[in-house]
């Protein structure tokens, strides 16, 4: 998700203005509806192969609008196989888990060999960064909290992609933790954010030099890692090696602020939630709200990938799209702090 800090200083460079702040060219889909029960955002989402979708809802982020600033966040569940799917809130249990400070951001799932599903959630309790590890209990419609992960190399987490129960790649969207230093980091255009590989026995930076590393995902064959560099408007492709190192392969310019990346497990297409006029998120005006945009990227490894704007609008429906994901001809679109959309493609 985007940071406010680049907008608070006189004379600050404003790459958000490089995107289409004036007008968003509408690209409509005929069969879309808002999802009942999502009113405070769905910043990230992930769909399991069986059609169950997890939503990260209620993110509170400095400088960004929140419609329920005093309430903790939550994880919602939807069954996309239903004819008219709805969401329900998953109960979170665990003796050492403080649900009152839960502030979910990026999420990722890992399915074990015995088909146990684990949900890994970036959270910001007291605006710090942790990864919360849960076991999904489908029959009880609940999440059992197993562990809180903290590490000095994970200070400013945004998103993650799980490669094991306690193994993941994660993006830090800033280098500095201190708010004043973070403001100068952005003001000076210091591309110092990074990607970290984490396991219980091995934690290291595996990629760096990003101007706000944001969404991260992986190809269906697990050979490639995709990283969204928000303020550079780029998606980077890295080759993943057996020792968990990453080698850069290519970058794709997207002409918009790229947020979270979802990958279609069948086709390998990337689906990207984007901000066509991101500055409006930080000077929120309900009469002139931020717009939304969804990109589909086909054959990203090819010399000339096909990039399609699947959905775009100026904020009349959705304010600030962050993520899109598809399942059997249906698409979900989430936002930073507002609503979420269900579409039939």
256: pLDDT confidence band, cut at 50, 70 and 90?
very high
- How far apart, in whole angstroms, are the C-alpha atoms of residue 31 and residue 344? 5
Looking at residue 303, its pLDDT comes to 95
Tokens of 256: 């918009």
Query: For 142, what's the count of Cα atoms within 13 Å in the CB-facing half-sphere?
Result: 9
Query: Per the annotation, does 70 bind a ligand?
Result: no
pLDDT at 10 over 90: no
Query: Per the annotation, does 44 bind a ligand?
Result: yes
User: Which pairs with CB-CB distance under 8 Å and at least 24 residues apart come from 225-230?
Assistant: 225/161, 225/169, 225/195, 226/261, 226/263, 226/270, 226/300, 227/171, 227/195, 228/258, 228/259, 228/260, 228/261, 228/272, 229/258, 230/2, 230/173, 230/257, 230/258, 230/259
Looking at residue 281, its pLDDT comes to 82
pLDDT at 2 over 70: no
Task: Find the range with the poorest average confidence among 144-158, 173-187, 232-246, 259-273.
Answer: 173-187
- How far apart, in whole angstroms, are the C-alpha atoms of residue 314 and residue 128? 32
CATH number listed for the domain at residues 25-344: 2.120.10.30
Query: Per the annotation, does 21 bind a ligand?
Result: no
Looking at residue 22, its pLDDT comes to 53
Tens of pLDDT along 115-130? 999 999 999 999 999 9
Tens of pLDDT along 283-335? 889 899 999 999 999 999 999 999 999 999 999 999 999 999 999 999 999 99
pTM of the model: 0.94
Query: Per the annotation, does 159 bind a ligand?
Result: yes
What's the rounded mean pLDDT across residues 264-284?
Answer: 92
- Would you call 233 a catalytic residue per the annotation? no
> Domain extents for the chain?
25-344
């Amino acid at each position: 998700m985007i940071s406010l800090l680049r907008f608070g200083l006189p004379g600050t460079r404003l790459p958000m203005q490089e995107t289409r702040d004036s007008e968003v060219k509408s690209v409509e889909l005929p069969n879309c509806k808002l999802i009942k029960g999502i009113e405070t955002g769905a910043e990230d989402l992930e769909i399991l192969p069986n059609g169950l979708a997890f939503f990260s809802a209620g993110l509170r982020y400095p400088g960004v609008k929140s419609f329920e600033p005093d309430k903790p966040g939550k994880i919602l569940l939807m069954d996309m196989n239903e004819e008219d799917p709805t969401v329900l809130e998953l109960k979170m249990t665990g003796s050492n888990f403080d649900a009152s400070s839960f502030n979910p951001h990026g999420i990722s799932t890992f399915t074990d060999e015995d088909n146990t599903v684990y949900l890994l959630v970036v959270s910001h309790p007291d605006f710090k960064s942790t990864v919360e590890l849960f076991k999904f209990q489908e029959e009880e419609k609940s999440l059992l909290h197993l562990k809180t992960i903290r590490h000095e190399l994970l200070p400013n987490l945004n998103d993650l992609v799980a490669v094991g129960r306690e193994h993941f790649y994660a993006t830090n969207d800033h280098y500095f933790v201190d708010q004043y230093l973070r403001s100068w980091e952005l003001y000076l255009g210091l591309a110092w954010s990074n990607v970290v590989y984490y396991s219980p026995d091995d934690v290291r930076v595996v990629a760096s030099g990003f101007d706000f590393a944001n969404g991260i995902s992986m190809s269906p064959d697990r050979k490639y890692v995709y990283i969204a560099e928000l303020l550079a408007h780029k998606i980077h492709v890295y080759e993943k090696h057996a020792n968990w190192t990453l080698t850069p392969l290519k970058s794709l310019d997207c002409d918009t602020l790229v947020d979270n990346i979802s990958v279609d497990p069948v086709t390998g297409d990337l689906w990207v939630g984007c901000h066509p006029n991101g500055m409006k998120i930080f000077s929120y005006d309900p009469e002139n709200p931020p717009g939304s945009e969804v990109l589909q990227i086909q054959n990203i490894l090819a010399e000339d990938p096909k990039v399609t704007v699947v959905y775009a609008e100026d904020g009349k429906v959705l304010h600030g799209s962050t993520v899109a994901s598809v399942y059997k001809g249906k698409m979900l679109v989430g936002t930073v702090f507002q609503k979420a959309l269900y579409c039939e493609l």
